[in-house]
Amino acid sequence: MLAQLDPQRFPRHIAVIMDGNGRWAQKRHLPRVAGHKAGVRTAREIIETCARLKIPALTLYAFSVENWRRPQAEVDFLMRLLREYLRKELPVIHRNNIRLVVIGRPEQLPAAVRKDIEGAMQHTEANTGMKLIVALNYGGRAELVDAFNALLAHARDGESNGGGRWQADEQAISDHLYTAGLPDPDLLIRTSGEMRVSNFLLWQIAYAEIYVTETLWPDFDRKALFGALLEFQKRERRYGGLSAAHARS
């Protein structure tokens, strides 16, 4: 399957909604936490594979602003799992020249989690390989609210972005998103078959190719990723225009 892929047509940025941990565990009559542990193993495999393929950016939707509504025991476990992952995987991430970036509202996370995140980002900030963006305490609407408030602050302070009255445009909004400086995702992968974007990168996925698979996240392995990339390379990206065939007709 890898031999069928064209490295020249890999996406610059892959975003993943990692869904299905709970259902994976339920199908096996296991507690939900077992599904989350299995999901971490999948994340490790997908991160390493994308780095080897030299994908410039990979964003994983790890914890949403809505996830605080889950039972407190599950939330606490997810926070511990995150800290454990950072401690165990940071040497591997660093060795693979991956730079870790966290987006969302991490300031609202527990202090111990924030400390580990900040240390991991500082440890990898000079790395020049793939950017691994982890969305933590993230919501697409929250991101837009934060961006617009920053834009309003510029306008209130009387700053100019063109020699006259300050105005917002698409570039100004992009520059104030959590993902400023990153290319928008070319490919959005959602596991578990749910047909929704779940408040994820609402601005950035405007022209992303969306790939939905029934595979639950803990079962989404390297082969499944290659399948998503093959499907991506079959599509003709139009960005609102006509295909080459329609343009000639």
d(CA 233, CA 85): 32
- Tally Cβ neighbours within 10 Å of residue 179: 22
Res. 227: pLDDT tops 60: yes
Share of the chain above pLDDT 70, in %: 92
Res. 248: pLDDT tops 80: no
φ/ψ (deg, to 5) at 189:
-105, 130
| Digit-coded pLDDT (tens) for 36-91 | 999 999 999 999 999 999 999 999 999 999 999 999 999 999 999 999 999 999 99
Q: HSE (CB half, 13 Å, CA atoms) of 7?
A: 8
- Residue of 6, 21, 67, 161 marked catalytic: 67
- Could you give the angle at the alpha carbon of 139 between the alpha carbons of 106 and 110, nearest 5°? 25
User: pLDDT confidence of 28, banded at 50, 70, 90?
Assistant: very high
User: pLDDT confidence of 157, banded at 50, 70, 90?
Assistant: confident
> What's residue 153's pLDDT?
87
Res. 175: pLDDT tops 60: yes
Res. 20: pLDDT tops 90: yes
Sheet holding 13-17, edge to edge: 99-104, 131-138, 57-64, 13-17, 187-190, 209-212
What is the domain class of 9-139+183-237 according to CATH? alpha beta
- Residue of 6, 19, 146, 221 marked catalytic: 19
Q: Is 67 a catalytic residue?
A: yes
Cα 124 to Cα 85, 121, 132, distances in angstroms:
15, 5, 10
